[in-house]
Structure 1
Amino acid sequence: MQPDARLLEGESRPPSAPEERFGNFYRQHYWPVLAFAQRRINNHETARDLASETFRVAWSKFEQAEHLGLAFLYQTCKNLIGNEYRRQLRVAALEVKLQHCPERHASDEHSLQLREAMLGMRDAEREILYLTYWEELSAQQLANVLGCSQEAAWARVSRARKSLKNILRSGVHHA
Protein backbone atom coordinates (compact mmCIF):
# COMPACT_ATOMS: atom_id res chain seq x y z
CA MET A 1 0.00 0.00 0.00
CA GLN A 2 1.39 3.40 -0.98
CA PRO A 3 1.00 6.46 1.24
CA ASP A 4 -1.33 9.23 0.17
CA ALA A 5 0.59 11.66 -2.08
CA ARG A 6 -0.82 14.67 -0.22
CA LEU A 7 0.77 13.41 3.02
CA LEU A 8 4.13 13.18 1.27
CA GLU A 9 3.76 16.75 -0.03
CA GLY A 10 3.70 18.11 3.49
CA GLU A 11 0.08 17.92 4.56
CA SER A 12 0.03 16.97 8.21
CA ARG A 13 -3.47 15.51 8.36
CA PRO A 14 -5.29 12.89 6.35
CA PRO A 15 -7.73 14.12 3.67
CA SER A 16 -10.72 12.88 5.66
CA ALA A 17 -10.12 15.20 8.62
CA PRO A 18 -13.35 16.80 9.90
CA GLU A 19 -12.08 20.28 9.02
CA GLU A 20 -11.54 19.32 5.39
CA ARG A 21 -14.87 17.50 5.17
CA PHE A 22 -16.61 20.52 6.69
CA GLY A 23 -14.84 22.82 4.22
CA ASN A 24 -16.18 20.72 1.36
CA PHE A 25 -19.63 20.61 3.02
CA TYR A 26 -19.59 24.40 3.36
CA ARG A 27 -18.51 25.02 -0.24
CA GLN A 28 -21.15 22.61 -1.52
CA HIS A 29 -24.07 24.02 0.51
CA TYR A 30 -23.36 27.71 1.30
CA TRP A 31 -25.07 29.24 -1.74
CA PRO A 32 -28.28 27.19 -1.46
CA VAL A 33 -28.51 28.07 2.26
CA LEU A 34 -27.92 31.77 1.54
CA ALA A 35 -30.61 31.71 -1.17
CA PHE A 36 -32.97 29.95 1.28
CA ALA A 37 -32.40 32.73 3.84
CA GLN A 38 -32.68 35.55 1.28
CA ARG A 39 -36.07 34.30 0.09
CA ARG A 40 -37.35 34.60 3.65
CA ILE A 41 -35.54 37.72 4.91
CA ASN A 42 -35.64 40.97 2.96
CA ASN A 43 -32.24 42.16 4.19
CA HIS A 44 -29.16 40.76 2.42
CA GLU A 45 -26.81 41.35 5.37
CA THR A 46 -29.18 39.62 7.77
CA ALA A 47 -29.54 36.71 5.35
CA ARG A 48 -25.73 36.41 5.19
CA ASP A 49 -25.54 36.47 8.99
CA LEU A 50 -28.19 33.76 9.20
CA ALA A 51 -26.36 31.59 6.65
CA SER A 52 -23.14 32.00 8.63
CA GLU A 53 -24.87 31.14 11.89
CA THR A 54 -26.41 28.09 10.20
CA PHE A 55 -22.94 26.80 9.38
CA ARG A 56 -21.70 27.59 12.89
CA VAL A 57 -24.44 25.34 14.23
CA ALA A 58 -23.63 22.76 11.55
CA TRP A 59 -19.99 22.71 12.68
CA SER A 60 -21.01 22.14 16.29
CA LYS A 61 -23.19 19.20 15.19
CA PHE A 62 -21.19 18.21 12.13
CA GLU A 63 -21.73 14.46 12.28
CA GLN A 64 -25.50 14.95 12.16
CA ALA A 65 -25.27 17.83 9.67
CA GLU A 66 -23.03 15.87 7.32
CA HIS A 67 -25.38 12.89 7.42
CA LEU A 68 -28.56 14.93 6.77
CA GLY A 69 -27.01 17.52 4.42
CA LEU A 70 -29.28 20.27 3.15
CA ALA A 71 -32.22 19.02 5.21
CA PHE A 72 -30.27 19.76 8.41
CA LEU A 73 -29.08 23.12 7.09
CA TYR A 74 -32.54 24.23 5.92
CA GLN A 75 -34.16 23.26 9.23
CA THR A 76 -31.44 25.04 11.19
CA CYS A 77 -31.73 28.14 9.02
CA LYS A 78 -35.53 28.07 9.34
CA ASN A 79 -35.20 28.02 13.14
CA LEU A 80 -32.73 30.91 13.05
CA ILE A 81 -35.05 32.90 10.76
CA GLY A 82 -37.86 32.38 13.29
CA ASN A 83 -35.57 33.70 16.02
CA GLU A 84 -34.74 36.71 13.83
CA TYR A 85 -38.40 37.53 13.23
CA ARG A 86 -39.10 37.30 16.97
CA ARG A 87 -36.11 39.58 17.66
CA GLN A 88 -37.39 42.10 15.10
CA LEU A 89 -40.84 42.05 16.69
CA ARG A 90 -39.33 42.67 20.15
CA VAL A 91 -37.31 45.62 18.80
CA ALA A 92 -40.35 47.06 17.01
CA ALA A 93 -42.48 46.71 20.14
CA LEU A 94 -39.78 48.39 22.21
CA GLU A 95 -39.52 51.26 19.73
CA VAL A 96 -43.27 51.79 19.84
CA LYS A 97 -43.23 51.64 23.63
CA LEU A 98 -40.37 54.12 23.89
CA GLN A 99 -41.92 56.52 21.38
CA HIS A 100 -45.32 56.48 23.07
CA CYS A 101 -44.38 56.79 26.70
CA PRO A 102 -47.09 58.11 28.99
CA GLU A 103 -47.22 61.77 29.98
CA ARG A 104 -43.72 63.22 30.21
CA HIS A 105 -42.56 66.02 32.48
CA ALA A 106 -39.73 68.45 31.91
CA SER A 107 -37.65 66.43 34.39
CA ASP A 108 -38.00 63.41 32.09
CA GLU A 109 -36.07 65.14 29.28
CA HIS A 110 -32.85 63.31 30.10
CA SER A 111 -34.69 60.00 30.13
CA LEU A 112 -36.27 60.78 26.77
CA GLN A 113 -32.89 61.70 25.26
CA LEU A 114 -31.39 58.47 26.57
CA ARG A 115 -34.23 56.39 25.11
CA GLU A 116 -33.95 58.11 21.72
CA ALA A 117 -30.18 57.67 21.70
CA MET A 118 -30.57 53.97 22.53
CA LEU A 119 -32.91 53.58 19.56
CA GLY A 120 -30.19 55.10 17.37
CA MET A 121 -27.66 52.45 18.36
CA ARG A 122 -26.84 49.25 16.56
CA ASP A 123 -29.06 46.38 17.71
CA ALA A 124 -26.18 44.40 19.22
CA GLU A 125 -24.90 47.36 21.24
CA ARG A 126 -28.36 48.28 22.47
CA GLU A 127 -29.00 44.68 23.54
CA ILE A 128 -25.73 44.58 25.51
CA LEU A 129 -26.70 47.73 27.42
CA TYR A 130 -30.19 46.39 28.11
CA LEU A 131 -28.77 43.14 29.43
CA THR A 132 -26.25 44.97 31.60
CA TYR A 133 -28.28 47.87 32.99
CA TRP A 134 -31.94 46.91 32.71
CA GLU A 135 -31.72 43.16 33.20
CA GLU A 136 -28.80 43.62 35.63
CA LEU A 137 -26.88 40.56 34.46
CA SER A 138 -23.61 39.79 36.20
CA ALA A 139 -20.37 39.64 34.22
CA GLN A 140 -20.58 35.86 34.07
CA GLN A 141 -24.24 35.84 33.05
CA LEU A 142 -23.57 38.41 30.32
CA ALA A 143 -20.62 36.37 29.05
CA ASN A 144 -22.83 33.26 28.95
CA VAL A 145 -25.57 35.06 26.99
CA LEU A 146 -23.04 36.50 24.54
CA GLY A 147 -21.11 33.24 24.26
CA CYS A 148 -17.76 34.77 25.12
CA SER A 149 -15.37 35.32 28.03
CA GLN A 150 -16.12 37.82 30.79
CA GLU A 151 -13.31 40.04 29.52
CA ALA A 152 -14.77 40.06 25.99
CA ALA A 153 -18.24 40.77 27.40
CA TRP A 154 -17.00 43.78 29.34
CA ALA A 155 -15.09 45.01 26.30
CA ARG A 156 -18.39 44.90 24.38
CA VAL A 157 -20.13 46.77 27.20
CA SER A 158 -17.40 49.40 27.09
CA ARG A 159 -17.75 49.81 23.31
CA ALA A 160 -21.54 50.04 23.61
CA ARG A 161 -21.28 52.71 26.32
CA LYS A 162 -18.83 54.66 24.17
CA SER A 163 -21.21 54.44 21.22
CA LEU A 164 -24.11 55.68 23.37
CA LYS A 165 -21.97 58.51 24.71
CA ASN A 166 -21.05 59.57 21.16
CA ILE A 167 -24.70 59.52 20.06
CA LEU A 168 -25.73 61.61 23.09
CA ARG A 169 -22.92 64.11 22.47
CA SER A 170 -23.69 64.43 18.76
CA GLY A 171 -27.38 65.01 19.41
CA VAL A 172 -28.27 62.57 16.62
CA HIS A 173 -31.20 60.54 17.84
CA HIS A 174 -33.69 58.12 16.37
CA ALA A 175 -36.58 59.93 14.72
Structure 2
Amino acid sequence: MTYRDRFEAVYDAYYPAIHQYAARRTGSPDDAADVISETFLTAWRRIGDVPEGEEALLWLYGVARRVLANQQRGASRRAALTERLRAELAADRPAGSVDLDHVRAAFDALSERDREVLALACWEDLTGQQIAKVLKCTPIVARTRLHRARKRMAAALERQTSMTVAMGEA
Protein backbone atom coordinates (compact mmCIF):
# COMPACT_ATOMS: atom_id res chain seq x y z
CA MET A 1 0.00 0.00 0.00
CA THR A 2 1.42 3.40 -0.99
CA TYR A 3 1.57 6.37 1.34
CA ARG A 4 -1.22 7.97 -0.62
CA ASP A 5 -3.43 4.88 -0.35
CA ARG A 6 -2.71 4.67 3.37
CA PHE A 7 -3.59 8.35 3.87
CA GLU A 8 -6.81 8.04 1.86
CA ALA A 9 -7.83 5.01 3.92
CA VAL A 10 -7.21 6.88 7.18
CA TYR A 11 -8.99 9.97 5.87
CA ASP A 12 -12.03 8.05 4.64
CA ALA A 13 -12.31 6.04 7.83
CA TYR A 14 -11.85 8.83 10.37
CA TYR A 15 -12.88 12.11 8.76
CA PRO A 16 -16.43 11.98 10.24
CA ALA A 17 -15.09 11.43 13.75
CA ILE A 18 -12.51 14.23 13.48
CA HIS A 19 -15.14 16.51 11.97
CA GLN A 20 -17.47 15.92 14.93
CA TYR A 21 -14.60 16.32 17.39
CA ALA A 22 -13.64 19.70 15.91
CA ALA A 23 -17.22 20.94 15.45
CA ARG A 24 -18.07 20.29 19.10
CA ARG A 25 -15.00 22.17 20.33
CA THR A 26 -14.94 25.26 18.12
CA GLY A 27 -17.12 28.32 17.83
CA SER A 28 -17.54 28.42 14.06
CA PRO A 29 -17.53 26.18 11.00
CA ASP A 30 -14.41 28.01 9.78
CA ASP A 31 -12.53 27.19 12.97
CA ALA A 32 -13.65 23.57 12.74
CA ALA A 33 -12.49 23.42 9.12
CA ASP A 34 -9.10 24.78 10.16
CA VAL A 35 -8.75 22.10 12.84
CA ILE A 36 -9.75 19.34 10.43
CA SER A 37 -7.40 20.50 7.69
CA GLU A 38 -4.44 20.94 10.07
CA THR A 39 -5.09 17.53 11.59
CA PHE A 40 -5.14 15.74 8.26
CA LEU A 41 -2.22 17.78 6.95
CA THR A 42 -0.21 16.50 9.90
CA ALA A 43 -1.40 12.97 9.14
CA TRP A 44 -0.31 13.36 5.53
CA ARG A 45 3.12 14.62 6.52
CA ARG A 46 3.58 11.94 9.16
CA ILE A 47 1.68 9.03 7.59
CA GLY A 48 4.49 6.69 8.59
CA ASP A 49 3.80 7.55 12.26
CA VAL A 50 0.04 6.98 12.07
CA PRO A 51 -0.76 3.70 13.85
CA GLU A 52 -2.84 0.96 12.26
CA GLY A 53 -6.53 0.29 12.94
CA GLU A 54 -8.45 2.00 15.72
CA GLU A 55 -5.23 3.39 17.17
CA ALA A 56 -5.13 5.74 14.16
CA LEU A 57 -8.30 7.48 15.42
CA LEU A 58 -6.77 8.00 18.85
CA TRP A 59 -3.62 9.39 17.21
CA LEU A 60 -5.74 11.78 15.11
CA TYR A 61 -7.64 12.90 18.23
CA GLY A 62 -4.31 13.72 19.84
CA VAL A 63 -3.25 15.77 16.82
CA ALA A 64 -6.61 17.56 16.70
CA ARG A 65 -6.33 18.31 20.41
CA ARG A 66 -2.94 19.98 19.89
CA VAL A 67 -4.22 21.89 16.86
CA LEU A 68 -7.13 23.20 18.95
CA ALA A 69 -4.77 24.23 21.74
CA ASN A 70 -2.62 26.14 19.24
CA GLN A 71 -5.71 27.76 17.77
CA GLN A 72 -6.90 28.85 21.23
CA ARG A 73 -3.47 30.22 22.18
CA GLY A 74 -3.40 32.21 18.95
CA ALA A 75 -6.86 33.62 19.62
CA SER A 76 -5.82 34.60 23.15
CA ARG A 77 -2.70 36.33 21.84
CA ARG A 78 -4.71 38.20 19.23
CA ALA A 79 -7.28 39.30 21.82
CA ALA A 80 -4.54 40.49 24.18
CA LEU A 81 -2.81 42.38 21.36
CA THR A 82 -6.10 43.96 20.28
CA GLU A 83 -6.80 45.09 23.84
CA ARG A 84 -3.27 46.47 24.24
CA LEU A 85 -3.51 48.39 20.95
CA ARG A 86 -6.93 49.73 21.89
CA ALA A 87 -5.53 51.01 25.20
CA GLU A 88 -2.48 52.56 23.49
CA LEU A 89 -4.62 54.30 20.91
CA ALA A 90 -6.96 55.63 23.59
CA ALA A 91 -3.97 56.92 25.58
CA ASP A 92 -2.48 58.57 22.47
CA ARG A 93 -5.69 60.41 21.60
CA PRO A 94 -5.31 64.07 22.54
CA ALA A 95 -7.90 65.60 24.83
CA GLY A 96 -10.75 67.05 22.82
CA SER A 97 -9.79 65.14 19.68
CA VAL A 98 -12.44 64.16 17.19
CA ASP A 99 -13.78 60.62 17.47
CA LEU A 100 -12.97 58.86 14.20
CA ASP A 101 -16.37 57.18 14.17
CA HIS A 102 -17.96 60.62 13.96
CA VAL A 103 -15.67 61.61 11.11
CA ARG A 104 -16.50 58.38 9.24
CA ALA A 105 -20.23 58.90 9.77
CA ALA A 106 -20.02 62.50 8.56
CA PHE A 107 -17.95 61.46 5.54
CA ASP A 108 -20.39 58.65 4.69
CA ALA A 109 -23.29 61.12 4.86
CA LEU A 110 -21.82 63.15 1.99
CA SER A 111 -22.59 62.57 -1.67
CA GLU A 112 -20.31 60.30 -3.68
CA ARG A 113 -19.07 63.35 -5.57
CA ASP A 114 -18.08 65.17 -2.35
CA ARG A 115 -16.45 62.06 -0.90
CA GLU A 116 -14.38 61.60 -4.06
CA VAL A 117 -13.02 65.14 -4.18
CA LEU A 118 -12.25 65.12 -0.44
CA ALA A 119 -10.55 61.75 -0.68
CA LEU A 120 -8.39 62.93 -3.55
CA ALA A 121 -7.38 66.03 -1.59
CA CYS A 122 -6.95 64.49 1.87
CA TRP A 123 -6.10 60.83 1.39
CA GLU A 124 -4.17 61.07 -1.86
CA ASP A 125 -2.78 64.53 -1.01
CA LEU A 126 -3.46 65.87 -4.51
CA THR A 127 -3.40 69.56 -5.42
CA GLY A 128 -6.31 71.34 -7.09
CA GLN A 129 -4.51 71.05 -10.42
CA GLN A 130 -4.02 67.29 -9.98
CA ILE A 131 -7.62 66.79 -8.84
CA ALA A 132 -8.77 68.58 -11.99
CA LYS A 133 -6.84 66.10 -14.13
CA VAL A 134 -8.29 63.10 -12.29
CA LEU A 135 -11.83 64.45 -12.49
CA LYS A 136 -11.36 65.71 -16.07
CA CYS A 137 -12.43 69.26 -15.27
CA THR A 138 -10.78 72.66 -15.05
CA PRO A 139 -8.69 73.56 -12.00
CA ILE A 140 -11.21 76.28 -11.08
CA VAL A 141 -14.06 73.76 -11.08
CA ALA A 142 -11.97 71.31 -9.03
CA ARG A 143 -11.10 73.96 -6.43
CA THR A 144 -14.73 75.07 -6.25
CA ARG A 145 -15.94 71.50 -5.77
CA LEU A 146 -13.30 70.93 -3.09
CA HIS A 147 -14.25 74.13 -1.27
CA ARG A 148 -17.93 73.23 -1.29
CA ALA A 149 -17.24 69.63 -0.24
CA ARG A 150 -15.17 70.89 2.70
CA LYS A 151 -18.02 73.15 3.78
CA ARG A 152 -20.50 70.27 3.56
CA MET A 153 -18.09 68.04 5.51
CA ALA A 154 -17.79 70.68 8.25
CA ALA A 155 -21.58 70.91 8.42
CA ALA A 156 -21.89 67.11 8.56
CA LEU A 157 -19.32 66.98 11.38
CA GLU A 158 -21.25 69.64 13.26
CA ARG A 159 -24.45 67.58 12.88
CA GLN A 160 -22.63 64.46 14.12
CA THR A 161 -21.29 66.36 17.14
CA SER A 162 -24.74 67.78 17.90
CA MET A 163 -26.32 64.33 17.67
CA THR A 164 -23.67 62.86 19.97
CA VAL A 165 -24.14 65.61 22.55
CA ALA A 166 -27.93 65.22 22.38
CA MET A 167 -27.64 61.45 22.81
CA GLY A 168 -25.26 61.87 25.71
CA GLU A 169 -27.65 64.22 27.50
CA ALA A 170 -30.67 61.97 26.93
Relative to the length of structure 1, the TM-score reads 0.49
Pair 1:103-2:91 in alignment: yes
One-letter code aligned to 1:95: T
SS of residue matched to 1:100: helix
1:64 deviation in Å? 2.0
Q: In structure 1, how many angstroms separate the alpha carbons of the residues matched to 2:51 and 2:31?
A: 25
Query: Which residue pairs with 2:43 in the alignment?
Result: 58
In the TM superposition, residue 105 of structure 1 has moved relative to its aligned partner by 4.7
- Once the two structures are superposed, what CA deviation does each residue of 1:131-165 show, in whole Å capped at 9, x if it has no partner? xxxxxxxxxxxxxxxxxxxxxxxxxxxxxxxxxxx
Offset of residue 66 of structure 1: 3.7
Counterparts of 2:92 and 2:3, CA distance in 1? 59
- Give per-residue Cα distances to partners, 1:86-109, cap 9 Å, x unaligned: 000001111111111162155xx9
Match of 2:138 in 1: none
Partner of 2:113: none
Q: How does 1:93-132 map to 2 (within 5 A)?
A: 93-101=80-88, 103-105=91-93
- 2:10 alignment counterpart: 25
Larger radius of gyration: 2
Unaligned runs of 5+ in 1: 1-15, 114-167, 170-175
Residue 6 of structure 2 contacts residue 47 of structure 2 at CA under 8 Å; is this kept in 1?
A: no
Output aligned runs, 1:1-175, within 5 Å. Answer: 16-67=1-52, 68-101=55-88, 103-105=91-93
Instruction: Give the TM-score normalised by the residue count of structure 2.
Output: 0.51
Identity across matched positions, percent: 26
Q: CA RMSD in A?
A: 2.3
- Rounded to whole Å, the distance in 1 between the matches of 2:50 and 2:5 is 14
Q: In the aligned structure 2, how far is the partner of 1:73 from the partner of 1:24?
A: 13
Closer, same or farther: CA 66–22 of 1 in aligned 2, 3 Å: farther
The residue type paired with residue 49 of structure 1 is: D
